[in-house]
Structure 1
């Protein structure tokens, strides 16, 4: 039975784990204290690998990043990618403020956190985090510092030898294998977390998860059906919805079930060819988009981070919202190489509010529970937007 269970897809195993966790919480509530160890081990494993993952992955991605030719087309496409992710994060901030989510977290006693009271304080905290010693940043899980050092070293390594770049690629792949191993045990951790949470909170858990999922999926739908069409209309000066719906239908549906932007590249290339996009443009822009164009990821990072912020009672002003949108956009660019996608980059955004890694990893674990729908919808938005923006720029320039 165990072998048959492990042969199932990760989504199927997570669904089974959620059902079993609820069943145990209802029928055997006295057993849940013993099952809490499974959830604690899973969160601890995520906490231990996340810092080195962000550092190595972003460093390797920047060091090996290549644009290629046809820059006249690629540059405006990259601008649309970046702007689209920022607007997606900003819309998620607004949605989270209008419909705030509350999470059921295991918080230390007397936990009180306050947001910085001014722009000067925010910038001071960011600068101090940026210049943190890289070893200290990794050991203390200072994700802002980790991100800063990985970007700086990645830019420096762009001028290194091909052998060095190959080593960085191999290092990133090695870390990814460790992450995939940890994620493969997610169903067991989720089983323990769901059992304990339902035993403690009952139906309140379903309400909390349902509300969070509604905000996430609603924000992604708003990006796909409002923000992206407006951007396409500005570029093409025409009705954007025929192109938007075609990309969602022919690219988004496939990506929803494959849950991989990289695996959906052939589908997007074929669609780009039928849309009349030159191969020289599509062959660069679409693989590039699969690596860095992550509007859905920026929504996920923003919504889950602000859910933790609201749960902890941290006040957030407009300036902090804008900075969070920028941080979520930058973080989302690194989400494609992470097994588990955007979820493991949530601590980067949480670090902006001084939220501890322990709490941030509990938020990641909650994200794993709802990832059955969240990750599929996120990938559908990410991948369909790749070919949508590429086609929009091509038509606009023509």
Structure 2
């Protein structure tokens, strides 16, 4: 008999429900046990975040330094611009719609919600080896250096280090996330905070999905206008890739289907076999929309100021950090934890809410990501034809 493996999203939903039940019907010591686990797990997560940044950003930048020359630069530039457009679009939508939703949902106290949460029985300090900004600078330095030197020794070491960090994520962090989320929701329920959080969750989810669909339509409209392709046909051809991404929750697993979508769109073989796998790694417009929208929602829920200057820096850095997204469910939010912490000032509770919000729509974010990849493939194919560029 095949072993039954419950997916991450169902486990997350079960964890939220259990957390609410525990916070509603159990005494304070039980909730404090979970709070103690959350404290230890949160400190471990803070320790791992800089390692995630170095382990994924440095090899990612190094890999972008080799390849098909001009075509690599063009594809990367378009992917980054697309990510920025998606992020600023999400900022515009969120800052216009979320204040109304949050105000209509409930009136919040002026005090810090974290003050009402139960404290852990004890804490174990696990200080990071270095802070997030140092990790980012080190990752950029190592990545650019490895790309420039074109030597394999350091690159092989960083690739193995990346595999170790990915194992930590997939074997430790991801399996324990439901327990962490359950503890957060149990504590928020006990403190009377969970009702206002859940009242906003569903509406934020709807806004995110609608934003995904609008940005896909925008990406294909621009691509088809530039390439001379039929917009209706291109969107129709993308449906199998979109649905596959929803089912697999993985950009990498969707590559074979997405290649077929690109073929049906008339993208040349060399371009599609180069652009689709590359963009599966570096182009995460859907994830950027989700992270931007969710971060603004969490900030508003916690009474934190949302300014264009702060969010612009976050979006620009997010576009780079998305290159580091590990190939596991929720990988994008894992890669973004560092800048959420350093640039937006998120604490343990805010990071846990971000993880919960992000993972509930991860499949749809992935579907938006891979759909945008094919829009980019149409643009790059036309550029390659005009400039007579080759992928090898």
TM-score by length of 2: 0.81
Counterpart of 1:57 in structure 2 is 56
Counterpart of 1:332 in structure 2 is 322
Q: Give 1:395 deviation, angstroms.
A: 4.9
Q: Look up the SS of the partner of 2:191 in the other structure.
A: helix
Contact between 1:67 and 1:284, CA under 8 Å: does it hold in 2? Answer: no
Counterpart of 2:226 in structure 1 is 235
- Is 1:185 matched with 2:187? no
- Is 1:215 matched with 2:207? yes
Counterpart of 1:116 in structure 2 is none
Contact between 1:304 and 1:346, CA under 8 Å: does it hold in 2? Answer: no
Q: Give 1:79 deviation, angstroms.
A: 3.1
Stretch deviating more after TM superposition (311-320 or 9-18): 311-320
- Is 1:362 matched with 2:360? no
Q: Distance in 2 between the 1:252 and 1:229 partners?
A: 13
Q: Distance in 2 between the 1:212 and 1:41 partners?
A: 29
Match of 1:244 among 235, 251, 263: 235
Supply the RMSD in Å over aligned alpha carbons. 2.9
Contact between 2:247 and 2:363, CA under 8 Å: does it hold in 1? Answer: yes
Q: Give 1:182 deviation, angstroms.
A: 1.5
- Deviation sequence 1:149-175 (CA, Å, 0-9, x none): 211221112215213211110011111
Contact between 1:298 and 1:329, CA under 8 Å: does it hold in 2? Answer: yes
TM-score by length of 1: 0.80
Compared with structure 1, are the counterparts of its residues 182 and 323 closer, same or farther at alpha carbon in structure 2 (3 Å cutoff)?
closer
Q: Distance in 2 between the 1:162 and 1:371 partners?
A: 36
Structure 1 regions of 5+ residues with no counterpart?
110-136
In the alignment of these two chains, the number of paired residues is 359
- Deviation sequence 1:242-284 (CA, Å, 0-9, x none): 313421x111110111111111111112222333322211121
Match of 1:206 among 198, 202, 210: 198
Counterpart of 2:26 in structure 1 is 28
Q: Look up the SS of the partner of 1:389 in the other structure.
A: helix
- Deviation sequence 1:179-218 (CA, Å, 0-9, x none): 2221111111122222222232252231132233333333
Contact between 1:41 and 1:189, CA under 8 Å: does it hold in 2? Answer: no
Compared with structure 1, are the counterparts of its residues 346 and 303 closer, same or farther at alpha carbon in structure 2 (3 Å cutoff)?
farther
Q: Distance in 1 between the 2:329 and 2:58 partners?
A: 17
Q: Distance in 1 between the 2:275 and 2:200 partners?
A: 39
Compared with structure 1, are the counterparts of its residues 199 and 272 closer, same or farther at alpha carbon in structure 2 (3 Å cutoff)?
same
Q: Look up the SS of the partner of 1:39 in the other structure.
A: helix
- Deviation sequence 1:112-156 (CA, Å, 0-9, x none): xxxxxxxxxxxxxxxxxxxxxxxxx96453x33422221122111
